[in-house]
């Protein structure tokens, strides 16, 4: 627990480069007033609380590439920034077998309070960063979201070292999948271990609706659980993202119909 937290952190970078990195689940922080949501401290070392390894990986990639990044500064157990405001999993009552006592029942007005204190400021920062990069670069930004996933799910090993999640816009995804698979030393998942078409999530809200090229990269957590692993994946991903950002087709606004159905919001 910490006494107080901010909703987000923005890492400054060269906005003229046209690339933005996002980390929706960067930290496991919970304000002290929430008393760890009734959970034991060890629960916050698990994936249910944050994406293990993603904060240091985001910081290293942003520094190496010299580009802006936005990181959340609150645990996904408080409220999940990678969910739409109307998503039933926005504030989880049960996550991977763990009951979240502080999330059920919620006091009157608590859902709106968490939206206003954490979720909406984070998304405002994302929107402002993307707009700033668009203005500085004079082109539609490329947006990359970084996440991590558990090596096992319900006792079954996940074979992928990394996955690329997406909805229906292939511009960044196809070359990214090809580049990650090219060395031949890792297993790359296409919409694995999850499907990337999630209505109202961060990339839907900020990229699909606006027609910005984007991709969500999921790295397996055991591969970035320590400094050596993070350094290794920084070295692997940096040249791939550099090459991707050099592609002209990743810097045009071009809408693609979402697999989730008609858009809620006009661009």
Mean pLDDT of the chain: 96
CATH 3.60.140.10 holds for 8-251: no
- Residue 266 has what pLDDT? 41
- Residue 118 has what pLDDT? 98
Residue 56 DSSP SS3? helix
b/e map 131-140, b = 16+ CB within 10 Å? eebbeebeeb
CA dist., res. 208 & res. 166, Å (int): 10
**Structure confidence by residue, pLDDT tens digits, 64-123:** 999 999 999 999 999 999 999 999 999 999 888 789 999 999 999 999 999 999 999 999
**Structure confidence by residue, pLDDT tens digits, 120-179:** 999 999 999 999 999 999 999 999 999 999 999 988 999 999 999 999 999 999 999 999
- Residue 96 has what pLDDT? 80
CA dist., res. 117 & res. 100, Å (int): 20
Write down the residue that tokens 């698990």 correspond to: 46
- Residue 267 has what pLDDT? 37
Classify strands 98-99 and 94-95 as parallel, antiparallel or unpaired: antiparallel
Beta strands in the chain (DSSP E): 8-11, 19-23, 69-72, 94-95, 98-99, 142-149, 152-153, 156-157, 162-165, 188-190, 214-220
**Structure confidence by residue, pLDDT tens digits, 47-63:** 999 999 999 999 999 99
Average of per-residue pLDDT across 221-241 = 98
CA dist., res. 173 & res. 186, Å (int): 17
Nearest residue to 82 via CA among 198, 250, 233: 198
CA dist., res. 52 & res. 221, Å (int): 6
CA dist., res. 25 & res. 146, Å (int): 9
- Residue 49 has what pLDDT? 97
User: Are the beta carbons of 169 and 256 closer than 8 angstroms?
Assistant: yes
Burial category of 63 from C-beta neighbours within 10 Å (exposed 0-12, middle 13-18, buried 19 and up): middle
């Amino acid at each position: 627990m910490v006494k107080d937290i901010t909703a987000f952190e923005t890492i400054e970078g060269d906005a003229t480069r046209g690339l933005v990195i996002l980390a929706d689940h960067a930290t496991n922080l919970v304000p002290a007033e929430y008393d760890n949501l009734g959970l034991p401290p060890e629960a916050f070392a698990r994936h249910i609380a944050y994406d293990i390894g993603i904060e240091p990986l985001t910081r290293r990639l942003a520094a190496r590439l010299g580009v802006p990044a936005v990181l959340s500064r609150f645990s996904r157990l408080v409220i999940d920034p990678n969910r739409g405001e109307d998503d039933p999993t926005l504030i989880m009552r049960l996550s991977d077998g763990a009951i979240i006592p502080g999330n059920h029942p919620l006091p009157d007005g608590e859902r709106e309070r968490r939206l206003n204190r954490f979720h909406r400021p984070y998304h405002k920062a994302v929107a402002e960063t993307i707009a700033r990069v668009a203005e500085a670069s004079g082109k539609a930004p490329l947006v990359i979201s970084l996440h991590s996933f558990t090596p096992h799910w319900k006792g079954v090993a996940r074979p992928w070292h990394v996955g690329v999640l997406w909805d229906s816009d292939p511009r960044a995804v196809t070359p990214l999948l090809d580049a990650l698979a090219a060395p031949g030393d890792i297993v790359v998942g296409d919409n694995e271990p999850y499907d990337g078409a999630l209505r109202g999530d961060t990339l839907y809200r900020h990229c699909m609706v606006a027609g910005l090229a984007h991709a969500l990269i999921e790295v397996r957590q055991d591969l970035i659980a320590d400094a050596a692993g993070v350094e290794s994946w920084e070295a692997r991903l940096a040249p791939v993202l550099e090459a991707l950002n050099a592609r002209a087709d990743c810097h045009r606004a071009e809408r693609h119909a979402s697999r989730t159905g008609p858009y809620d919001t006009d661009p």
